[in-house]
Amino acid sequence: MQDINGLIHKIKHGLDTQVSIARLRRNRTLAEAATGRTVLITGASSGIGRVAAAQLGAAGATVLLVARRADELEQAVADIEAAGGRAAAYPCDLNDFDALDAMTATVLADHGHVDILVNNAGRSIRRPLDQSYDRFHDYERTMRLNYFAAVRLILAFAPGMRDRRDGHIINILSLANLYGGPGYAAYVASKAALDSLSTSLQAETHTENVRFTSIYLPLVRTPMIAPNAVYQNADALTAEEGGQIICDAIIDRPRRLAPVMGRVTALIDSVLPERADSIRSARFRRGM
């Protein structure tokens, strides 16, 4: 457990360092980046999505909150409005594509366009290969929410961004996309698909002022990690820290936002894949 805590602490510190350097260099505030903008955040009823929504609402954005739990969304909207912000709730199960398409149509009818899309909703499944032989549906359901739902949202809102030559699509990924996630193969693969899609679409929209940002988050203390006993006492970002990183991405519009350690590990993986595989294997067998 101490090894896990130490690794996550180093990763967290590396991300903090990168964000802190960006803050020193930036020449605008969150209010300047957000005022008058329409921002849609999925997974906004709790955790980092809700924190980011609150900060953006306070900064002058019109925040559209999407999640399954209508009661929690309405409370989040009420909190934002009580603080003087503008927000609206769009309850939707993103696994239901008919409901998702109806929601995006309603959003466009209500607001005309979305300036910033934050694909934050996600499903994580921890199940090693030897427990997955008869569970193909685990891979289907992670892809459905983590990848295909995000793709449908991008396809719904990207046309308006391209027409206006102004837009930002932020995808919340996992640090495991850089250093590997044994035991979480279905989850990591679904996030990797979204990352690869963004790389290709960024090339297509590079000259149109449409930015794709990939955020490779380390462990965050949210209900998603609660079922895994290994992480109960592990060092992790708070929801407030994770939400602030989303806001930092909106201010700075980086192509990628990741801890230095994750970037170094990805480089090692590309140069010495066998060595990286052995490190991942050892970590997996220790129960991480």
Burial class of residue 99, CB neighbours in 10 A (0-12, 13-18, 19+): middle
Residue ranges of the alpha helices (H) in 46-170?
Answer: 47-58, 70-82, 97-111, 136-142, 150-164
Q: Which DSSP category does 144 fall into?
A: I
List of residues 6+ apart from 235 with CB closer than 8 A = 5, 8, 9, 12, 219
Report d(CA 51, CA 247) in Å as an integer: 10
Q: Which residues are marked as active site?
A: 187
Residue 167's DSSP bridge partners are 210
State phi, psi for 118 to the nearest 5 degrees.
Answer: -115, 105
Report d(CA 115, CA 161) in Å as an integer: 7
Residue 174's DSSP bridge partners are 217
Report the largest interatomic distance among the alpha carbons of the chain, rounded to a whole angstrom.
Answer: 55
Residue 214, classed as helix, strand or coil, is strand
